[in-house]
C-alpha cells in the first residue's frame, strides 16, 4: 500500500507552510532521506526529506501552495498501489466484499508464521525540526502503551540542540508499542512508536528491524548480517546499540550499520558479538561492571543537546576564523541619565522597562549600517554577504544553555520596540519554546555579561557571522575635564571580528562611532 509524506511541523506555533520548489516529479524513485521539496515558514526555509522508499505516485500540491502542517503532500509506493484516502479530504474506500484471488501454490505451502496476519500498524516518525538537525532527545512521553490517540494528539516532547518541541501523532489508533524511552537520543525520521488497532503487525517498524517477508518467500533462509570487525570512531551508533555493546563487552563501532544512513543499531551489535570467536579478547569493558567494581570518585555528566551544539559552534568558530578582539570604552553618563528618566516616568508614558542593553542594541542597529562589512555573514570562503537591514542576534542565558534569538529588522524598530521584542524572545528561550527560525538569520550579535561584573572579555564570533559585540559592566574611572580630574562611569565594549572579512581600521572606526553615539544617545535618537 502507498504511504503519504506529511508536510513537517517546523515549530510549535507553525500551522501552515508554503512549498517553495519540488525537487522530484511524479514517477521518480526516492529513498528515505531524499529531498522531496523545499518549503518556507514565516521566518525560514527548510527541506522536506522522504519518509518512505518507492515511486512518487502522486503529488497533491504545487510550487507556491500553502499547505497545513501534518497533511500529506504526496504519495509514495509501488506502481499500482492504492492511494485512496491519502490526499486530504478523500475517504478510504470501503470494500463491499472480500474478493481475494487464490494464492499461488508456493504461498499456500508456506508456514503460517511467515507473514503476520492482520493489518500493518503505522509508525510515527521523530520529526526533523530544521535542515541541520540529525538527532533529537525525547524529553517526556505524554502517552503510554495501550492509550488511544487521534491525529494531532501530543505524544511526547523532544529537544533539538536549541529548543524543545511537541511531537503530534500522525495516525489514529492505539499505541501498540513505544520504541524509545525518556532521555533517549533518536535519529530524525526514525519511528518512535507504532499506532494501529489491537492485533496489527508492528514488525519492521522498529529501527534496525526488517519488515516481514511475504509468505511465498518464507522458506528462503534470511541473509546473515555482515559481521563488521574494524572499529570506526566516526560511526553513528544508536543509544540502545551503545548500551547493548557495553553489556556484551564489544566495541559498537566495529559493527556494520544497517540503520538509516548506515547507523549502527542494536541488532547490528548483537550480530557482531555473535560473529566473534569464543576466545576473542574483550574489546570494551561494560560500563555497568566497571561502576560496580569500585566506589565512584567522580561523576561524568554528558553534555546536553544545547551544550553540545554550543561547544561544536565555538570550536568551529575559533578553528576556522582569523579572530581578534578590540576593546573600547565610553562615558555612560548619558545612557544612565536616560535609564533613570525611564524608570521614573516610563510607566506614565506607556514605555516598557528599557534596559542599558536595549539602549546598546538600538545604537548598534543604527551605527552598523555605516559599516556594512560587519553587518554580514560569510556563507562560504571568500564570499561576504552584506545585509541591507540589521538582523540582530541577542545572546540569552537559559537553563539549558546559551541561545541566540534574532531581532529581525532591528534598524526599523524604535527603542521601545527593540526592548519589547528582546524581552519576548528572551522569555521564549528561557521557557524552552524557541523554534529554529527564531534562532537563525542574524547578521550580527550582541552578548551582554556586564550584570555579572565582567569588565572585559573576548566574545567568540557565531559562524557564519563575522562580528560580535561584547557588552561589559560599568566601572568608575577618572579623566581630565578642563584641567580637573573627575570621575565618570565607564562602560567597556569588546568587538571580536573575522580578520578575513575586514581589517583593524574599519573595525576600530565602527567602535569609535558606536561609542560616540552612546555618549550622545539623545542626539542619536533624533536622527
Residues 136 and 45: their CA atoms lie apart, in Å, by 20
Instruction: Give the list of residues 6+ apart from residue 179 with CB closer than 8 angstroms, or none.
Output: 191, 192, 193, 194, 205, 206, 207
pLDDT for the residue numbered 97:
35
Q: What 3-state DSSP class applies to 39?
A: strand
Q: Are the beta carbons of 489 and 466 closer than 8 angstroms? A: no
Beta bridge partners of 139: none
Per residue, the 3-state secondary structure of 485-512, as one string, reads EEEEEEEEEEEEEECCCCCHHHHHHHHH
Residues 374 and 445: their CA atoms lie apart, in Å, by 10
HSE, CB side, 13 Å, CA atoms: give it for residue 223: 5
Can you say how many angstroms the Cα of residue 268 is from the centroid of all Cα atoms in its chain? 27
**Secondary element (H or E) of residue 246:** helix 239-248
Cα Rg of the chain, angstroms: 29
Instruction: Give the list of residues 6+ apart from residue 149 with CB closer than 8 angstroms, or none.
Output: 143, 155, 169, 171, 172, 173, 174, 175, 195
Kindly report the CATH class assigned to 239-289. few secondary structures
Query: What is the β-pairing status of strands 376-380 and 383-386?
Result: antiparallel
Q: What 3-state DSSP class applies to 180?
A: coil
All three cell numbers of 494, joined, read: 569588546
Return the closest-CA partner of residue 41 out of 526, 454, 439, 429.
Answer: 439
E-strand ranges in 132-238 read 135-141, 148-149, 154-159, 164-168, 173-178, 185-187, 191-196
All three cell numbers of 36, joined, read: 522531496
Residues 423 and 446: their CA atoms lie apart, in Å, by 14
Q: Report the 10 Å Cβ neighbour count for 268.
A: 29
Q: Are the beta carbons of 514 and 363 closer than 8 angstroms? A: yes
CATH architecture of the domain with residue range 306-524: 2-Layer Sandwich (3.30)
Q: Ramachandran region of residue 189, left (φ > 0), alpha (ψ -120 to 50) or beta?
A: left
Average confidence (pLDDT) per 10 residues, the chain, 527 residues: 80 77 93 87 77 90 87 89 79 40 36 51 83 80 94 88 81 92 86 91 78 45 49 73 80 79 76 74 43 60 75 86 94 95 91 95 98 95 94 93 94 96 95 87 95 93 95 94 93 96 96 97 91
pLDDT for the residue numbered 46:
82
Residues 164 and 160: their CA atoms lie apart, in Å, by 6
- Topology (CATH level 3) of domain 3-88+122-207: OB fold (Dihydrolipoamide Acetyltransferase, E2P) (2.40.50)
Q: pTM surpassing 0.85?
A: no
Q: What 3-state DSSP class applies to 67?
A: strand
The residue length of the chain stands at 527
Residue spans of the domains in the chain: they are 3-88+122-207, 239-289, 306-524
Q: Are the beta carbons of 398 and 429 closer than 8 angstroms? A: yes
Backbone angles phi, psi at 240, to 5 degrees: -65, -35
Q: Are the beta carbons of 269 and 234 closer than 8 angstroms? A: no
For 220, 397, 436, the CA distances from 410, given in Å and listed in that order, are 66, 21, 19
Residues 273 and 254: their CA atoms lie apart, in Å, by 10
Q: Report the 10 Å Cβ neighbour count for 38.
A: 17
Long-range Cβ contacts of 37-44 (<8 Å, 24+ apart): 37/73, 39/7, 39/8, 39/67, 41/10, 41/11, 41/14, 41/17, 41/437, 42/14, 42/437, 43/408, 43/435, 43/437, 43/438, 43/440, 43/441, 44/10, 44/436, 44/437, 44/440, 44/441
Instruction: Give the list of residues 6+ apart from residue 262 with CB closer than 8 angstroms, or none.
Output: 235, 236
Query: What is Dmax (Cα atoms) for the chain?
Result: 109
Query: Among positive and negative, which fits the CA dihedral 353, 359, 364, 369?
Result: positive
Q: Are the beta carbons of 450 and 469 closer than 8 angstroms? A: no
Residues 422 and 358: their CA atoms lie apart, in Å, by 8
Amino acid at each position: 500500500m502507498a504511504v503519504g509524506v506529511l508536510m513537517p511541523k517546523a515549530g510549535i506555533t507553525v500551522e501552515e507552510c508554503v512549498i517553495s520548489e519540488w525537487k522530484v516529479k511524479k514517477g521518480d524513485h526516492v529513498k528515505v532521506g531524499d529531498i522531496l521539496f523545499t518549503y518556507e515558514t514565516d521566518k525560514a526555509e527548510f527541506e522536506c526529506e522522504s519518509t518512505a522508499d518507492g515511486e512518487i505516485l502522486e503529488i497533491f500540491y504545487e510550487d507556491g501552495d500553502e499547505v497545513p502542517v501534518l497533511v500529506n503532500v504526496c504519495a509514495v509506493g509501488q506502481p499500482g498501489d492504492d492511494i485512496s484516502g491519502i490526499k486530504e479530504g478523500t475517504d478510504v474506500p470501503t470494500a463491499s466484499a472480500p474478493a481475494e484471488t487464490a494464492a499461488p501454490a508456493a504461498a499456500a505451502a508456506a508456514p503460517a508464521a511467515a507473514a503476520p496476519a492482520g493489518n500493518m500498524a503505522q509508525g510515527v516518525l521523530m520529526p526533523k525540526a530544521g535542515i541541520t538537525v540529525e538527532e533529537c532527545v525525547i524529553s517526556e512521553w505524554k502517552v503510554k502503551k495501550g492509550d488511544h490517540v487521534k491525529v494531532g494528539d501530543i505524544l511526547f516532547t523532544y529537544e533539538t540542540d536549541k529548543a524543545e518541541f511537541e511531537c503530534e501523532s500522525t495516525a489514529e489508533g492505539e499505541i501498540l508499542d513505544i520504541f524509545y524511552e525518556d532521555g533517549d537520543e533518536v535519529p530524525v525520521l526514525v519511528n518512535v512508536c507504532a499506532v494501529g488497532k489491537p492485533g496489527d503487525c508492528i514488525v519492521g517498524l522498529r529501527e534496525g528491524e526488517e519488515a516481514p517477508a511475504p509468505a511465498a518467500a518464507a522458506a528462503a533462509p534470511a541473509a546473515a548480517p555482515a559481521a563488521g570487525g574494524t572499529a570506526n570512531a566516526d560511526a553513528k551508533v544508536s543509544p540502545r546499540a551503545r548500551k547493548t555493546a557495553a553489556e556484551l563487552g564489544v566495541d559498537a563501532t566495529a559493527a556494520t550499520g544497517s540503520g538509516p544512513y548506515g547507523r549502527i543499531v542494536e541488532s547490528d551489535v548483537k550480530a557482531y558479538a555473535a560473529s566473534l570467536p569464543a576466545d576473542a579478547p574483550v574489546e570494551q569493558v561494560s560500563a555497568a561492571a566497571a561502576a560496580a567494581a569500585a566506589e565512584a570518585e567522580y561523576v561524568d555528566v554528558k553534555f546536553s543537546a544545547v551544550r553540545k551544539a554550543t561547544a561544536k559552534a565555538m570550536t568551529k568558530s575559533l578553528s576556522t576564523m582569523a579572530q581578534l578582539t578590540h576593546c573600547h570604552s565610553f562615558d555612560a553618563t548619558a545612557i544612565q541619565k536616560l535609564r533613570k528618566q525611564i524608570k521614573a516616568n516610563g510607566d506614565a508614558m506607556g514605555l516598557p522597562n528599557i534596559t542599558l542593553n536595549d539602549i546598546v542594541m538600538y545604537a548598534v542597529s543604527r551605527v552598523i549600517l555605516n559599516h556594512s562589512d560587519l553587518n554580514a555573514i560569510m556563507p562560504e570562503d571568500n564570499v561576504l554577504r552584506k545585509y541591507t537591514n540589521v538582523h540582530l542576534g541577542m545572546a540569552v542565558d537559559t537553563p539549558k544553555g546559551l541561545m541566540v534569538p534574532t531581532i529581525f529588522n532591528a534598524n526599523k524598530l524604535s527603542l521601545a520596540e527593540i526592548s519589547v521584542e528582546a524581552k519576548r524572545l528572551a522569555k521564549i528561550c528561557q521557557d524552552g519554546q524557541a523554534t529554529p527560525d527564531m534562532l537563525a538569520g542574524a547578521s550580527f550579535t550582541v552578548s551582554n555579561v556586564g550584570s555579572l561584573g565582567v569588565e572585559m572579555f573576548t566574545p567568540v564570533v557565531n559562524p557564519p557571522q563575522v562580528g560580535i559585540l561584547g557588552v561589559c559592566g560599568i566601572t568608575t574611572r577618572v579623566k581630565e575635564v578642563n584641567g580637573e580630574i573627575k570621575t565618570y562611569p565607564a562602560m567597556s565594549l569588546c568587538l571580536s571580528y573575522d580578520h578575513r572579512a575586514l581589517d583593524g581600521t574599519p573595525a576600530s572606526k565602527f567602535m569609535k562611532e558606536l561609542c560616540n553615539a552612546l555618549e550622545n544617545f539623545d542626539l542619536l535618537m533624533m536622527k
